[in-house]
Each structure stands twice: as structure tokens, then as C-alpha cells.
Amino acid sequence: MQRNASSSSFPAIGAARRWLRNTGLWSIGAALIALVVLGPILSVLWTALWPEENIWPHLVATTLPRYLSNSLILMASVGALTAATGTGAAWLITRYRFPASRWLEYLLLLPLAIPAYIGAYALVDFLEYAGPLQTGLRGLFGWSSARDYWFPDIRSKTGAIIVLSASLYPYVYLLSRAAFREQSGGAEEVAMSLGKGPFARFWSIGLPMARPAIAAAVAIVMMETVNDFGTVDYFAVQTLTTGIFSVWLQSYNAGGAAQIACVILGLVVALVLLEKSSRRRLHFYTLSSRHRPVTRVHLPGWQGRVATVLCAFPFVLGFVLPCGVILSHALSQSGGWSDPGLLRALVHTVTVCGIAAVVTVLAAVFLVYGVRVSGAGLPKLLMPVTTIGYAAPGAVLAVGILIPLALMDHRLADAVAAVTGHDPGLVLTGTAFAVVLAYCVRFFAIAQGAADSAMGRVPPSLPMAARSLGRNRAATLREVHFPLIRGSLASALLLVFVDCVKELPATLLLRPFNYDTLATRVFEKASLERLGEAAPAAVLVILVGLCAVGLLARTNR
């Protein structure tokens, strides 16, 4: 009787309980996670369509064509150069044996550890007028000034293309190497028996079968190119991403920044659709049940040396040169390591990126486990949607996060001040909360992919046995799944943490005042031409990146 009286007295509570029981905790959680991921994108679209001050006609008539053309040129050039470099290196590594080929197979991955903006600072420092290369040339040939010889302008669009390509080609190399490895040696032998030479076999067999993987990798490279801010800003190339910073921070127009962000989103969506379309049109099957791997051919004499040089060049340009320049500055100015600003930036980086990594992986595990155990349609429908954040550039997410958070922050502060008489300040945007949220949204796809893959390897009989012994779903996750997938979750934590450490555009836009991370410290010091002070922070970023590359090399052996 008491229970019925309580339900009749509070019908809203009873209705809420029935709705929660019918809908399910997993469906509600999946909807909340999808809302958090999609929220910034929807915020950008809303702000762009209904801005407080519409400057779209002014943007179209003045700066937008320049931003768009530069972005398209960079994307096309970097995509083509990384496709040629990564695919060519992967073909040589998987098909031939030559001096240092076993070492180069893994060394070619190392440029992934160095963000493009650090590579840009190092390249300019090495090649500029006062750098060691031009200084050595002047001393060698007796030139006294720049009028005595010609040297290309480093801070240019071409320089940005070279730096971005040297940093991003490992994406193409990694995926194309995997595709070439999976091809059958029988097809190679048939082509050789028909008189096909090495180049003919590459163009007629190897490249067409690997094209879907190469297209996917090039799409990732082009999305990373349009996301870049540090490199293009340092080389004074005005792109759509730099346009967001200019319109927002200099003109104080959030609507205009959101409109430029929508253009970037349009480019990203077009890339994704093109990549998926190319995959649908190409299908290759292994007709034999006995798959034989391709036997590597030994390259003798000068041919092997040429292959070594071709594979070593992108590694030297993308890793050895930046590391050498940064380390030389870091060692020559030992006092920079004791700078209190560096310690604060390190603490901020570890704190913010660590929190973001833990929250992201836990949310991914919740979503993936919920899809597997609930059987509900809503979580299954929403899980692919939550990966969209990885395709959105950091600057776009920053625009979509900061605008609604700032509105909520001011209203919350006004409400607290009206009730208590005390102004609490900006709780959401005045702290690192917005930065953590941006990291979680941007890199959720990495954690979700790792969690989904790990749980897919757990035999279904084990959780079924746990449930038959009286364990609920939470206990089954804790006692059965977690011990089996903790290695994969640790890898996901590391990968998300490393990507958060290297993320620059979102951090620059969302960080509180006077709140530096390692990435922003490198950017600010190098932008002021104080590379020596930026070097210690850059070394720490590179070391963190090397941990992720080592894990990647280990899992792709």
C-alpha cells in the first residue's frame, strides 16, 4: 500500500522510472555520448546560419577565396607528395631486400612522433640565412652576402608543403605497407612469367589492389593538412584554419569564424565521401585458400644503394633533421630545462591530457560494452556517429565548444551571483574544462576503435558463464572483460594521451588565460624566434610521440 501511495503521490517519478527501465541505461548513455560529440558540430552550424553579425558577404568578397585556394593547394600538394613517398617506400620495403631495409621498415614511422609545427621551426632554423647550411655555403665559396648567391625562400607555401609532407607521409606508408603485405605472391609470379618488369607489376597489380588503403591514408593526410595551424602560421600561409583565428581573435566575430569552420567541415565531408566511394568501386578477393606471401627480391650493387637512399631521405628530412636541430638548441641552453614556465607547462599537459585520455577511454568502453550487451537499436545506431569528432579539425571543434560554453558560463555566473551575491567567475571556459572536452570529442574515435576491437576478441562464452553465476553486467565487465582487454585499453590510453599532447589549434583557442601546455609553449616561443627556449618543451613532445610510435611499430610487426 505504501508503494502504491508513493507512486500515486509522485506520478512524475514513477513515469521517469518506467521510462528509464524501458529505455535502458545503455541507450541513454549512448545518446549522451553522441550528443557530446555532435554538440560542437551542431553549435558551429547554428552559429554560422544565425550569426549576430553576418560578415559572410564580406568574407566571400575579400579573404575567403584566398583562404580556400591556399587550403586546397596545400591539401592537393601534400596529398600527392605523401602518396608518392609513402607508397613508394612501402613498395620497396615489402618487395625488396637492400642495405638497411630491415631498419628502415620501422625508422620510416618515426616522423609521426614529431608534430609538423616542430618540423617547421627546425627546417627554417637550419635553412635560413643565419642557419648552418647557408653559413657553411658562404664560408665555402667566399660569398659575403645574400646578393652573391640565390637561395629559395624557406618561409613560403612550398616550404609548408615540404614540412607537412615529411611529417604526414607515415600514414600512407603504414596503410600501404599493410596492403602490399596482404597481396599474394602467386599474382607476382604469374606476372613475372608473362614478362612483366618491376614497374609493370607495380602499376598493374600492386597499386590497383592497394588503392583503397592508399586512398584512405591520403584522406587522413589531407584532413590533417587542413587541421594544421602551427606550420602554416609560421610560414605565413593564410588558410581556412588561420582564417578562423584571424576572424575570431582579431575581429571578435564568432559568427564569421563559425562560417569559415563550416567551409572546413564541407571539405572534410567531401574527402570522407570520396574515400568511401573509391572503396565501394574497388573490390579484390583472394581466390586461393592457400595464401603465399610475396618473397622479397635482393637488390644488388647500385640498385640496392639507390633504394636505401630513396627510403632514407624522407626519414632524414622528417625525423633526423628536426631532432638534430631541436636537440642542439636544447643542449646548448641547459638553463631552459629549469625554467618554471616549462615545469608549469609539463604539469598542465600531463594533467589535462591524462584526464582527457581516461575519460575518453572510459566513455568508449561504456559505449562499446553497452552496444554488445543491451541489444538495443539506439546504441548501435549512435556508435558510428561518435567517430565524427576525429574528422573535425581542432579549430572547428574549438569554435563549436567555446560559443555555447561561454553562454552557459555567463548565465551560470549570473545565477550564482543573484542567489549568493558572490561572483564565481567563469567555471567552464575559465578553467581547462573546455580543453579536456575538446580532446575527448576529437580523439573519441581512437578509444572507441581500440575498445571495440578488444571486446571483439573476448569469447562470448566467458561473459555468459559469468552471468549464469549471478554476476550482473557491471560485474561481468569488471571481472571478465577488463582483465582480458586491459592491454588494449592501456594502448588506447597512450595513443589518446599522445594525440592530446600534440594538439595545437584547439588548445590555443580554448585554454584559459596564461595557461600553457607543452604544445602552446613551443608555438609561442618559436613564433617569437626564441627556438632555444622552445627546444626543451619540443624535446618532451617528441619523446611522448616516440612512445606512441614504438607501440605502433610493435603492433604492426
Q: What DSSP string describes 367-388?
A: HHHHHHHH--HHHHHHTGGGGH
AA identity, residue 274: L
Which residue has cell 571483439?
456
Residue 240 lies in a domain: no
Residue 139 lies in a domain: no
Residue 270 lies in a domain: no
Residue 526 lies in a domain: yes
Which residue has cell 616522423?
111
Q: What angle do CA 187, 188, 193 make, to 5 degrees?
A: 100
pLDDT at 289: 47
Residue 179 lies in a domain: no
pLDDT at 452: 86
Residue among 233, 268, 264, 238 nearest 63 (CA): 238
Strand partners, 97: 298
Burial of 279 (0-12, 13-18, 19+ CB in 10 A): middle
pLDDT at 7: 46
Strand partners, 96: 297
Look up the CATH number of the domain holding residue 460.
1.10.3720.10
Find out whether 357 and 503 touch, Cβ atoms under 8 Å.
no
| Structural domain for 474, as ranges | 333-556
Strand partners, 298: 97
Which residue has cell 589549434?
505
pLDDT at 207: 79
C-alpha cell at 107: 625508422
Residue 383 lies in a domain: yes
Q: Can you tell me the distance from the alpha carbon of 231 to that of 363, in angstroms, rounded to the nearest whole number? A: 32
Residue 215 lies in a domain: no
What residue ranges in 232-327 does DSSP mark as E strands?
Answer: 297-298
Burial of 553 (0-12, 13-18, 19+ CB in 10 A): middle
10-residue mean pLDDT profile of the chain (557 residues): values are 46 57 68 87 92 91 96 96 95 92 94 94 92 90 87 91 96 90 67 66 77 88 94 95 92 91 92 75 51 77 94 96 94 84 95 96 89 72 82 91 88 84 79 94 91 83 77 78 85 92 94 93 92 94 92 76
The number of folded domains in the chain is 1
Q: Can you tell me the distance from the alpha carbon of 445 to that of 387, in angstroms, rounded to the nearest whole number? A: 4
pTM (two decimals) = 0.88
Residue 377 lies in a domain: yes
